[in-house]
Structure 1
Amino acid sequence: MLRASKVFTIENPQEFKMKLLHWSEQFREVVFLDSNQYHQKYSNYEVVLAVDAFTSIKTDFYNAFDDLHQYQSKTQDWLFGYLSYDLKNDTEALTSKNFDGLAFPDLFFFQPKKLFFLKENHVEMQYLNLCNDELEEDFSAISNTNSICDFATLREIKIQQRISKEAYLQKVSKMLEYIHHGDIYEANFCMEFFAKDATINPIEIYHKLNAISQPPFAVYFKNYHQYLLSASPERYLKKKGAKVISQPIKGTARRNSYPILDEQSKVDLENNPKERAENIMIVDLVRNDLSRTSTKGSVEVEELCGIYTFKQVHQMISTVVSQVENTTSAVEIIKTTFPMGSMTGAPKISAMKIIEELEETKRGLYSGAVGYFTPHGDFDFNVVIRSILYNAKNQYVSFSVGSAITSEATPEGEYEECLLKAKAMFEVLK
């Protein structure tokens, strides 16, 4: 379907961004992607908003990638949505039998009636032709939306831990046994924190979570009563033309308020042998995944163990790229690399089997990916980490945290790392 397009000039982009998000809340389907003005080599937009499904696809893992390919081929339009971690069961002989309190579909995408692309002091609005007479009217309504909301105080949320500390230490010890026996080199082990009978204001929680770290791949996602509030710093996979880009994160160091000590923290991270080994293991896995669809000899490591600074932490990020033929479908590239190596381990299939055995919660959208396809078959997806998931219908709130277990790991050290990663989510849910 054709889209009507119009570009409007805006005086205050940051304020307009907030107005846009609050205006979007009237719709059943919302995907709001915010780079928080974090400009990097592969950035396209500062903010993208997609609302109001014209068509959609919702399915469990069975034949999910084939169904998505058919849907994407048929629509040849912008599609926004998510891939849950459990799509692993569509590509390998794997299962997901752990507890699921959220009950999200394994895959959901929609073709939005209304699209917004914010860059500098301009917003481009692209509407399906059935809505094109609403362009001016909506811009006026957004401009007049109150961007500052007074949030009502809701009742206290009682957060519980799915795996006790004692059980966590035992499970990591078991994972280390698998490593010492040579079954795996590395695996990402996660645990869930949750609250029952919980009522939250999703936009308020998203604002608070995003403000803490202002990451480059933040997401506010809504599908009726299902929400994702994500402060993700990590790109899973992007395709632009014939080029495919993966940017796995492994390696984290805290920021310091003293500039000299903060700089030293970066140097220490860059030279930390354990962090470098974790990152390089995942780079090797990503190279192998990309080679399944790449043109011969085109997979290369564009940057190995680069150090990037965010509001709260320094991160070690590598960039792996490849070239693909124009006959290779977008969904095939995703299918052969999913789930991402940074959230699984190496070897990948063995790691996922052990993860399923030792974890106690179905990951679902956590450690999956949110993003979009363009009408021309390009795409961009994040990694769903540092995120809160909420099912308003059954009043269940969930967030998970994890760490990479290698032969160098100690159960106590990994437990402390998980609590550190959970800190922001605890803060915003107080």
Structure 2
Amino acid sequence: MQNSSYVYPIKDPNWVEKLCRWADLHYDFFAYSNGNDYQYPEAPIATAFYAGNKELTEEEIWCEYSSFKKVGIIGYDFKNRLEKLKSENSTFFELPELCFFQPSFSLTFDANSIYSETELSNDFWDEVASIELPISTNTACTVSPQISKESYLQTVHTIQNHIIEGNTYESNFCQAYSGEFESWDPIAAYFKLNRLSPMPFSALFKAKSVWLVSTSPERYLKRKGSKIIAQPIKGTIKRGKSITEDADNRETLASSEKEQAENLMITDLMRNDLSKVSMIGSVQVQELFGIYPYPRVFQMISTVVSKLKKDVSFAEIIQASFPMGSMTGAPKIRTMEIIEELESFKRGWFSGAFGIIEENGDFDFSVIIRSIIADLDVKRLYFGVGSAITYDADAAQEYEECGLKAQAILEVLSGK
């Protein structure tokens, strides 16, 4: 931010929402990422805005020598290009496996200021200021789970049988909610969801008619020069209703052998993934079983860091580590096959990654969870929730955990 040539004060508390609505009128693609000022290891995602009309080709996405930023999404089903896997479950609507654009306009923010590399014209300020926010917005959509509670519980037991047979040690089984609408306001939905559940990797992304409304708590990967950072989340408990209950719940999560075992399996998986593109001996667990407070839950987060091999490419890093291990389980490939057999929907963008690649090759990607994916043309939306199933998992508790993760999104979609 400090390197930007122009600094402007934020005078209107609604300015960012006005900026998004202005961009929606003028651009096919835009993205707003918001770290919500979290004190997060290795920092939250940058609070920034990007807009443009140029969708990138795959060649441009993977090119190592671009002189421009790239903003976009790697869908979960991109896994099929990396391994001999398939995605044959039903889809709510078609989504590209890769969707990136080149920003022609970008800004960064802190609590009080806007930063720009170029001078912003008076016409721009006047246009954004003149945007009138709608008096009433529609974020309501009747949604329903795609599988019943009974089916969910039965599937958990099926996974545990796979564990007994040695096919998997831990599987991140997900269920989906879907809905149809006549009109739905993704911008209003994002700002409402971010107020209810601000997260360190919050994002709003538009790609023509398709939108991502995300309050993700989890980082997939961050690159800073030769340093690469992965931060898997495994371990969730609700916040308490009092200071005492809150402290008790935090300690319950911190001392849970079950949650630690889940987290350790994925941390080891990420260590293995990063070792494929890292200098020998450089992979380290910077923090194991860290407990971090979010508005509605505590999460157990581990941080894995390493030093990249010389000249390793973005494509090679994705090849080694995608999808995020916390959204698959271990061992990764066989577990993804089991997930495909047992889940009822094609994940699409859900549990893929959203992020920004800088001109110098640095990048930061979140995991697409706690997120709504909508297509305004086909008038449908969906979101997924899941949890790690292990041998000693209690199926009913896992179902309740999914409900806890879906809570804020369901409140937004209730329209209240």
Partners of 2:45 and 2:201 within 8 A in 1: no
Specify whether residues 76 and 331 from structure 1 end up closer, same or farther in structure 2 by C-alpha distance, changes over 3 A only. farther
After superposition, the Cα gap between the structure-2 partners of 1:91 and 1:53, relative to the gap in structure 1 and judged at 3 Å, is same
- Counterpart residue number, 2:97: 106
Match of 1:189 in 2: 173
Q: What is the root-mean-square deviation in Å for CA atoms of aligned residues? A: 2.1
Residue 143 of structure 1: how far off its partner (Å): 4.3
Pick aligned residue for 2:361 from 377, 388, 391 = 377
Provide the TM-score with structure 1 as the length reference.
0.90
SS across alignment from 2:68: coil
Q: Match of 1:150, as an amino acid? A: I
Does residue 429 of the first structure (1) align with residue 410 of the second (2)?
no
> What is the aligned partner in structure 2 of residue 7 from structure 1?
6
Change (3 A) 1:51 1:178: same
Counterpart residue number, 2:348: 364
Task: Decide whether the 8 Å contact of 2:250 with 2:298 is kept in 1.
Answer: yes
Q: Secondary structure at the match of 1:219?
A: strand
Provide structure 1 residue ranges, at least 5 long, that are not aligned to the other structure.
58-63
Letter of the aligned partner of 1:48 in structure 2?
A: A
Structure 1 residue 139 displacement after superposition = 3.5
Higher mean Cα deviation, 407-416 or 387-396?
A: 407-416
Letter in 1 for 2:96: P
| Alignment length (residue pairs) | 411
Displacement of 1:247 in angstroms is: 0.7
Matched ranges for 1:7-406 at <5 A: 7-12=6-11, 14-26=13-25, 27-43=27-43, 46-57=46-57, 68-70=61-63, 73=64, 75-126=66-117, 135-146=121-132, 148-153=133-138, 157-406=141-390
Q: C-alpha displacement at 1:198, in angstroms? A: 4.5
Deviation at 1:335, TM superposition (A): 2.1
**How far, CA to CA, are the matches of 2:188 and 2:171 in structure 1?**
34
Contact 2:179–2:382, Cα closer than 8 Å, also in 1:
yes
TM-superposed deviation, 1:36:
1.2
Between the aligned partners of 1:153 and 1:84, the Cα distance in structure 2 is: 27
Is contact 1:198-1:397 (8 Å) kept?
no
Asked whether the 8 Å contact 1:53–1:112 carries over to 2, the reply is: yes
| C-alpha distance in 2 between matches for 1:341 and 1:241 | 23
Whichever residue aligns with residue 85 of structure 1, its letter is: Y
Shift of the 13–352 alpha-carbon distance from structure 1 to 2, 3 Å rule, reads farther
- Which letter does structure 2 place at the counterpart of 1:142? V
- Cα separation, partners in 2 of 1:168 and 1:266, compared to 1, 3 Å: same
Contact 2:168–2:331 at 8 Å: present in 1 too? yes
Superposed CA offset, 1:298-341 (max 9, x none):
00000000011111111111000000134111231122100000
What stretches of structure 2 of length at least 5 have no aligned partner? Answer: none
Deviations 1:384-423 (A, max 9, x none): 0011110111111101111100001122222222222222
Read off the aligned partner of 1:240 and give its amino acid letter: K
Write the distance in 2 (CA, Å) between the matches of 1:257 and 1:413: 19
Structure 1 consecutive aligned stretches of length 4 or more whose deviation exceeds 6 Å: none
Aligned-partner Cα distance in 1 for 2:355–2:255: 33
Cα displacement string for residues 190-228 of structure 1 (whole angstroms, at most 9, x for unaligned residues):
111111345311111111211111101011111111011
